[in-house]
Amino acid sequence: MKLSLPLFIASTTLSLVSAGTPFVPARSSSQIVAQHHLNSVLSLRGGEVFEDLLTLQHVEDIIMRASAEGKAVAIDFTATWCGPCQQIAPVYHELSESDAFSNVVFLKVDVDQNPATAAKYDVKAMPTFVFIKRGVVVSTLRGANPEMLKEKLREIA
């Protein structure tokens, strides 16, 4: 008896399921990253700094979602080798947890891991903070100045 190809595929699939091992297609690393990005975009809230933003698309997705929710965005462009960046990082995290800035979404972008986003926002020095309201850049701050950082956040909050 000769089996046709569709019948052979169907019988192979049935035997996998009937053997107790359901067929689960493999996910590529880009699919896994996309799902991670989707999950973080769906859960925008204050009190958290979104890190591990590896693509310009991911950053843009978060900015669009924040705009749709009526929230402002603050982006900290940083680098692991930047001393002033490391000094201002605890202040940035502390501000993200402040009730005064609960309507601001805080992002942190490593310029070495995500050069496309740094280029789009014309980052020439670190740290650079970019402040976005309704999807539009309204202000930029270069340098690790805690008082100016608080002032810029007050302007967009």
Active site residue 38: no
For residue 136, count CB atoms less than 10 angstroms from its CB and return exposed for 0-12, middle for 13-18, buried for 19 or more.
exposed
Which entry of 85, 118, 130, 149 is annotated as an active-site residue? Answer: 85
C-alpha to C-alpha distance for 63 and 116, rounded to whole angstroms: 15
Residues 153/105, Cβ–Cβ less than 8 Å: no
Active site residue 85: yes
- For residue 150, give the 3-state DSSP assignment: helix
Which entry of 59, 62, 63, 82 is annotated as an active-site residue? Answer: 82
The catalytic residues are 82, 85
